[in-house]
Structure 1
């Protein structure tokens, strides 16, 4: 009788988990972990429930699209008038599509419906669903169960309730923009940009002989790290789980928001870049690249242009200038502006009522991110790491066109869409540049920004840390009110001068959202990468805890998420970066 009761109980858990996958896969995985840890339901049973539910749900959504061909009511409800534009994209990228849809909220249902509508072979679709579903279920469920055994079970049911709330909030908001969403938007966009506007927004690649002032990146054994090949959702899953662990340990989900108490969210996201740079003391402003800020006033782009030109004249800035959003991330919306008409076009695309910066471009190839930490109460802080950032580039071979070089370069081919078209958030290169044949050994710079997002190469250069450099960065940081954790992004003339704490200009200061980006060096193993990320997380929570003990109160979770939502909403509205 007891065995029968257990079997019936397990059956109830199985059915509940199976059907919950149709509502939300992550919630089903959380429920499966709860069933395993708290009710000791066999692992094979909860795994099977999640896996079969995911595959069944995928096929069900596929069939909705398939039967919409013959059902007018269904067709009106789920098939948009522009969906035909997605056919070639889905058909040629089906494996990538299924992987990303599994990891990005809001994209799975419409894309799987489109697979059925376009009659992608059911066998091919199901096979890929089985593979991606199996891998995803194995990894996610294992992490939830292990995390539950190690941490959550000691906090009783409240911990499960906390994680459930996080899943619900994540599922009901657009906190993280799906990676393919802008590709979808572009595919569904009826309008074509006039050719003269394309000319205005297109970055012109620069010919150079080498990266001046920095060691040559030639001879690297690896150009793309394993971490870069993984989908962001999968890669950052352990980081997110460790955040929950640290939150439980320090009894606050948002403790890092007081790591830098004078900066909104501590500088984690949604903060004003200009406000942070203006916090640098007057005696150290010489190390910050000059800039002006203003808001689009809604009175017309010509009025905004005159305001910008007046402010530039007052500050002594001349073209070219760097235009960048005041609230931003990873170089979105950052562009080199060479003349009046380019600025006019940029302002016309920039959201009304939002602040932007116009900054003096630093004419050095050398770019570095210097990661800094100081515990509250310490007399001096310390530089944790130095990372050299190389702009996206290819070398000519004397026979291949620039387009061929991009497609064949081990690193740049993974970001080819940014330069060959297909990414609305970045300026593609004009055909005249793509068709040129660079000379053998000639280095071609592809983008003004050097973010890893668009193919920038990061190299660990912590060997450049010297007492002189540390002293200079510490002095700048201590001139800022209550600044303890962050990264100084700068351009510099040479590594020799940088080591002396000279010859550089700060172009941006980041707070709690900073990473020790040296870990993204392709020759750093993924284990060392996670070790570095976990170390920076630990430092971040420790700094926040010390500031909390001094009387600073962390933001509420709701306000923290609102700041993230605001930032991501703005990023979607920014002009293409360059």
Structure 2
């Protein structure tokens, strides 16, 4: 099994085990989480921690209050999911303590105020420690931006909670999914209104250094509620509970002895929270945060900088400069990695996925032709920046000139992006809110749409980008290019229904006894061709070359085979086990053959390369019938481009209406030759084998089915013992030879997982394809049923399952049989 496959299997198993563990332990916690045992005391302190749940910061205060006589302390554990606000309200409503005091810490202040409003006269006082009750005085200082940030934060923790096997260890984190969800759900607008109007004593405890004393929140609290109590301690807000819990406990005891005092609410002429502009990040701090954010995503950082400037949280100049410097130093780092480590840096995991050796060579050639001016241009073309800057370092472009060019590119690109976000962001948000949607949702929608728009515009700005977008559109709208899960999604349900109807899951694997599981997976091309050869089927000459031989021995074996049957290059080389043309090479030279052998992990089949036309011929035969049926034919066409003496290969690929559909594959496959200019009339073969995933065109060849062809195929198929259903891949000199059933040379034979590939003809759509596949599987079940009734030995379900699991795990066939 490949290391990546092993890791993936282990990860999935661990994730499944983690969810089982959480489900079991969660049930136990739910059974015991709402048990509350408090004695009859003179006073009750209810402590509401960060986001309304228990947090470690409350523990010192809880311990200090617990030492006071005739006092109960309760910290509802919202964090474990045991309590909701209604639960706490119901318990406190029934509690007999004459004095109930609520103490909230940060976001816990929101729920403390909401509880106080619900319980009314039962509450003696509310003490808020470093309260976060107005969105204007937290995080970014703007309700919409803060909402979007909390939404991203919630999404991130949701992914961590559900996508990482943690076995409950995330509960030990100071911040996790439960706390982020409570922060996201915290009704700060309602809490702000309660703070303004609550008719009982409210106190604010804070540190004198920084925090709410410095960001303007304390000033707003005093203005909105002039009679608010002030509990001030030296140090920071965090130190109120960690360093001064004993003093705070004494203050709370004193408050409880006074009892409830009314008439302490808002004064009529007092301002409201919305009358305050909120916090404003310092220019240096805002610029630094945006610069750091560019290392995660340049686009999102620039868009966020523009929105922050539009909201007034930061100045426009710091937003632009912060993003520009972050982008500049990030790109400069790519250059120096290439300059210091050279081509060896491509082996680093971070760069391996985005900088291929071919892309590096190509970027180096660009620099040789166009110089440092290329640095400015690549800033505007997605996907070219990293390999270009890295190549500049590898070829040791003068770093002073490169730095100046990089600074110029950043100075052009960054203001454009930030200013667009600045001017368009507020307009977009106002429109979004006018439609009745939430402001934070508008922020998220704007960031995603703007980022998508920037990349779309960058692609539309160049001919290559427009052609690649056209390629993506053709692949999206063309059924033949759909991913396999989309092709087979409806068919799977029909297969399940047929298995239920026939009361057998393993029935389909009784169609072809000459192949493992009737050709599900792991069918050996060598064994099948040998079986066909013994039956007298006209096959292309071949030679089996075993994996255990050295590269030199394999090459000698190949040359001996070619000499024996009088062949010359090119020759077809294939892995013995493989599907959809994986690993197939048409070797034109000895060097190409040697390179193939050095990478092989399976036995090799060397086969003569036969010219002419290639076709896929689908055939089936019932035991009860005298002759079989050729049900469909696929005309497989190769793809090529022709030079004009001016255009390079990349341009020819992107210009060609068929080749552009496979542009991503062709541009990668021939990356080292893209700059080559083909001479006028020169033909460059892009897809030389009849495999759709490697560029071949599949056409419906129904008009090629003739009685002569059907008779010829049926004649040699009847002699193949154990074969009743499958597709021949064959070559003939011409279509006329195929119609006459003459000159046929079979290349391969595929079993039940072979497709009626005529369905991939561009003129057909998904409904034709789905109908063809469903008809095929009905036929498979019918053929298998007849074979089973005639005495065919059933295939073991365990054997089929072993094959399927081994195939998914990537187990080589030599380790299986």
TM-score by length of 2: 0.42
Contact 1:223 1:522 in 2 (8 A): no
Residue 563 (str. 1) matches residue 803 (str. 2):
yes
In structure 2, the CA distance between the partners of 1:345 and 1:444, relative to structure 1 (3 Å rule), is closer
Deviation at residue 554 of structure 1 after TM alignment: 3.9
- Higher mean displacement: 222-231 or 540-549: 222-231
- Residue 399 of structure 1: how far off its partner (Å): 5.1
Query: Which of 780, 786, 800 is equivalent to 1:546?
Result: 786
Deviation per residue, 1:239-259 (Å, 9 max, x gap) = 111111111111222322111
Mapped contact 2:732–2:743 kept (Cα < 8 A) = yes
| Aligned counterpart in structure 1 of residue 759 of structure 2, from 519, 540, 546 | 519
Aligned counterpart, 2:369: none
Distance in 1, matches of 2:590 and 2:678, equals: 31
Q: Deviations over 1:323-342 (max 9, x none)?
A: 00111111111111223332
With over 3 angstroms needed to count, the CA separation of the structure-2 counterparts of 1:413 and 1:190, relative to structure 1, is closer
What is aligned with 1:258? 510
- Alignment map for 1:316-327 (pairs within 5 Å): 316-327=566-577
Cα shift readout 1:281-310 (whole Å, capped 9, x = no counterpart): 55734x211001121215x32233333333
Displacement after TM superposition at 1:559 (Å): 2.6
Question: CA 1:437–1:420 in 2, change beyond 3 Å: closer, same or farther?
Answer: same
Change in 2 beyond 3 A, CA 1:313/1:190: same
1:268 aligns with 2:268: no
Q: 1:335 and 2:579 equivalent?
A: no
After the TM superposition, which residues 174-573 of structure 1 pair with which residues of structure 2 at under 5 Å, given as runs? Answer: 187-188=352-353, 192=357, 226-280=478-532, 282=534, 284-285=536-537, 287-297=538-548, 300-351=550-601, 354-364=602-612, 366-394=613-641, 400-421=647-668, 428-429=669-670, 431-432=672-673, 434-437=675-678, 439=680, 444-567=684-807
Match of 1:214 in 2: none
Higher relative contact order (CA 8 A, sep 6+): 1
Shift of 1:572: 9.3
Unaligned runs of 5+ in 1: 1-18, 25-54, 66-70, 75-114, 126-183, 197-221, 422-427
Q: Distance in 1 between matches of 2:295 and 2:623?
A: 59
Compared with structure 1, are the counterparts of its residues 398 and 378 closer, same or farther at alpha carbon in structure 2 (3 Å cutoff)? same
Which residue number in structure 2 is paired with residue 145 of structure 1?
Answer: none
Counting matched residue pairs gives 386
1:82 alignment counterpart: none
The equivalent of 1:9 in structure 2 is none
Q: Distance in 2 between matches of 1:503 and 1:223?
A: 36
Instruction: Give SS of 2:634's match.
Output: strand
1:464/1:495 contact within 8 Å kept: yes
Question: Which SS does the other structure have where 1:309 is aligned?
Answer: helix
Cα distance in 2 for partners of 1:411, 1:571 equals 36
CA distance 1:64–1:273, shift in 2 (3 Å): closer
- After superposition, what is the alpha-carbon deviation per residue over 1:452-487, rounded to whole angstroms, capped at 9, x for unaligned? 112211111111111110001001211210211011
Change (3 A) 1:497 1:122: same
* Structure 1 position 552, deviation (Å): 2.4
What do the CA deviations read for 1:117-175 (whole angstroms, capped 9, x no partner)? Answer: 934878999xxxxxxxxxxxxxxxxxxxxxxxxxxxxxxxxxxxxxxxxxxxxxxxxxx
Distance in 2 of aligned mates of 1:528 and 1:470: 23
Based on CA coordinates, which of the two structures has the bigger radius of gyration? 2
Q: In 2 relative to 1, CA 467–191 (structure 1 residues): closer, same or farther, beyond 3 Å?
A: closer
2:296 maps to 118
Secondary structure in structure 1 of the residue aligned to 2:755: coil
Distance 1:430 1:253, change over 3 A: same
Counterpart Cα distance in 1 of 2:524 and 2:603: 9
Write the distance in 2 (CA, Å) between the matches of 1:316 and 1:255. Answer: 45
Structure 1 residues 64 and 187, CA gap change in structure 2 (3 angstroms): farther
For residue 35 of structure 1, what is the aligned residue in structure 2? none
Change (3 A) 1:291 1:189: farther
Q: Deviations over 1:32-68 (max 9, x none)?
A: xxxxxxxxxxxxxxxxxxxxxxx97676338999xxx
